[in-house]
Amino acid sequence: MPITVREAYLQGREHLAASGSAEAPIEAEVLLRHVLQLDRAALYTGWDRPISEDAWHQFQRVLDERARGRPVPYIVGQREFMGFTFAVDERVMIPRPETEVLVECIVEWVGRRERGNAAAPTPASSARGGARERDVGSRLPDPGSRLFVVDVGTGSGCIAVSLAQLLPSAIVFATDISMEALEVARANAARHRVGNRITFLQGDLLAPLPPHLAGRVDAVAGNPPYVPVSQRAALPREIRDFEPPVAVFIDGDGIAVHRQLIAMEVGAGQADDVAGAMAGDGKYARVRTLADYSGIQRVVVGERAASP
């Protein structure tokens, strides 16, 4: 007797719950939709339809992969970030919702700067709630002007591509030490049709940037690795065993990279140290921290004074 969508879902949910997944209901749904290639509405309206034997076997296979710890975004090959869909696989870190704060911060800053420069005021922005809810078009630099933005450690390209999407006059330079990550990022830029405004460069932090950019960069964003290697054993296996170590771990206290950068995401409990290092450096004004959706101080921002 063929199995229905409902029965497959319920069995999948049980399988994942038994393997220790804390999010078995949503994960079973996402994996089933992936196998059946259905959106949410179609899944629920077809609830009592039978699924093919092939689909059932494929569902069993992806459930087993998940039960062995492989993160769902790697299994389904994609992840949402800032309302955009990014292709992901084991060559890159999975984009996290807390990193959206970083993108929103830069979009807000550009808007504020433009309003400050503009002759006529533009509509006020909503307080929090995401760049995608705002009228981004009203907050852009003057037509024809160019905004130079750098994304350090681009990974999947989620920050660079989102900024290019939300700031149509931005020219973005994105670096990564990992050539494999850059392949994924380039594919994501092409997928979102912003490849012509993003230059991907392989190398260490800011080192690969072209010399002519010196003194012309408006904003630097970065989500560098920040988990001290000494904490490896304490991480969930999804991160420890599946995400690229170069994207996750750093030697020492985890803030070595931040000491060289300007506006970036930090780990829980690191914001004060990073902000202190930036303020102590003496080159940054208005050093501050921003909280993510769970109230954790997640992004440190500083504005580097222009050279005299």
Ligand X SMILES: C[S@@+](CC[C@H](N)C(=O)[O-])C[C@H]1O[C@@H](n2cnc3c(N)ncnc32)[C@H](O)[C@@H]1O
Q: Catalog residues that contact ligand X under the rule CB under 6 A.
A: 92-93, 95, 99, 152-156, 158-159, 175-178, 181, 204-205, 223-225, 246-247
User: Quick one: 56 or 84, whose CB is closer to ligand X?
Assistant: 84
Q: Confirm or deny that 224 is annotated as ligand binding.
A: yes
Q: Confirm or deny that 125 is annotated as ligand binding.
A: no
Pairing of strands 84-87, 147-152: unpaired
Give min distance, CB of 133 to ligand X, in A: 21
Q: Confirm or deny that 85 is annotated as ligand binding.
A: no
Give min distance, CB of 185 to ligand X, in A: 8
Which is nearest to 232 in space by CA: 243, 221, 222?
A: 243
Give min distance, CB of 147 to ligand X, in A: 19
Residue 133 and residue 192 in contact, taking contact as beta carbons nearer than 8 Å = no
Which is nearest to 134 in space by CA: 147, 124, 119, 146?
A: 124
Pairing of strands 219-222, 249-250: unpaired
Q: Confirm or deny that 210 is annotated as ligand binding.
A: no
Give min distance, CB of 276 to ligand X, in A: 21
Residue 104 and residue 219 in contact, taking contact as beta carbons nearer than 8 Å = no
User: Quick one: 12 or 224, whose CB is closer to ligand X?
Assistant: 224
CA angle 249, 252, 254 (to 5 degrees): 55
Give min distance, CB of 108 to ligand X, in A: 18
Q: Confirm or deny that 48 is annotated as ligand binding.
A: no
Residue 198 and residue 172 in contact, taking contact as beta carbons nearer than 8 Å = yes
CA dihedral sign, ordered 46, 52, 55, 60: positive
Q: Confirm or deny that 156 is annotated as ligand binding.
A: yes
Task: Write the DSSP string, 74-94.
Answer: HHHTEEEETTEEEE--TTSPP
User: Quick one: 8 or 205, whose CB is closer to ligand X?
Assistant: 205
User: Quick one: 15 or 298, whose CB is closer to ligand X?
Assistant: 298
User: Quick one: 190 or 246, whose CB is closer to ligand X?
Assistant: 246
User: Quick one: 225 or 302, whose CB is closer to ligand X?
Assistant: 225
What is the distance between the alpha carbons of residues 299 and 154, in angstroms, rounded to a whole number?
16
Give min distance, CB of 187 to ligand X, in A: 14
Residue 155 and residue 176 in contact, taking contact as beta carbons nearer than 8 Å = yes
Q: Confirm or deny that 71 is annotated as ligand binding.
A: no
Binding residues: 153-157, 176, 223-226
Binding residues for S-adenosyl-L-methionine: 153-157, 176, 223
Binding residues for substrate: 223-226
